Structure 1
Amino acid sequence: MRKTQITIDVELDENHVPENITWNAEDGGIQKQDTKAFMISVWDEKAKEALRIDLWTKEMPVDQMKMFMHQIFVSMGSTYQRATGEDDVAEWIEQMAEEFAIKSAIKM
């Protein structure tokens, strides 16, 4: 069995607020790539619930956080479609993403 690693390094200030975030992905050739935010979800099979970590630096602009969230919603729709084959629900998720873009003033 082959293994690979994806790592995330978070530098915190004296108040434990993220100042810098970098990530590495061995197979993708990514080393110390700067980022301002990340969200990770994992499935806890025993508890039947999603566990997540979401962090962003204090330098992450609000307008970019809105765009980040919008893109996550869009990708959730396509991931849901690939995982379940339920086109109608995937389309509903994508419509919700578009409504989010309008309400959050990303899209007019």
Structure 2
Amino acid sequence: MSNHNPIPMRLKEVRKKAKISQKALGVRIGMDESSASARMNQYEKGRHTPDVRTLKLIANELGVPLNYFFCEDDQMAEAVCLLAKLKDEDKSRVLSILREMSSQKELL
């Protein structure tokens, strides 16, 4: 993928899925009520990129892992969300399966 920034698309997608307005999301993460909507709009339009601390607050508020915002394709975005919900032992099992599948592909 080129220099495409996935953050705006992912942010808008997960915010809409959560059925929360830009303003409400901004206020919930501590932005001033008078500027929350405009700031979130700038993030979703890609005019400005939130710093990692702000992005982490947004991720926590919307119930997604931070790395969700950096996924360049929908399958990876779904995978990180599902993986984040698993217990550590289940994450280890999934990683083992992925390693096995990856090494098998390398042999072909």
Q: TM-score range by the shorter chain?
A: under 0.3
> Whose strand proportion is higher, 1 or 2?
1
Q: Which one has more relative contact order, counting CA pairs under 8 Å at least 6 apart?
A: 2
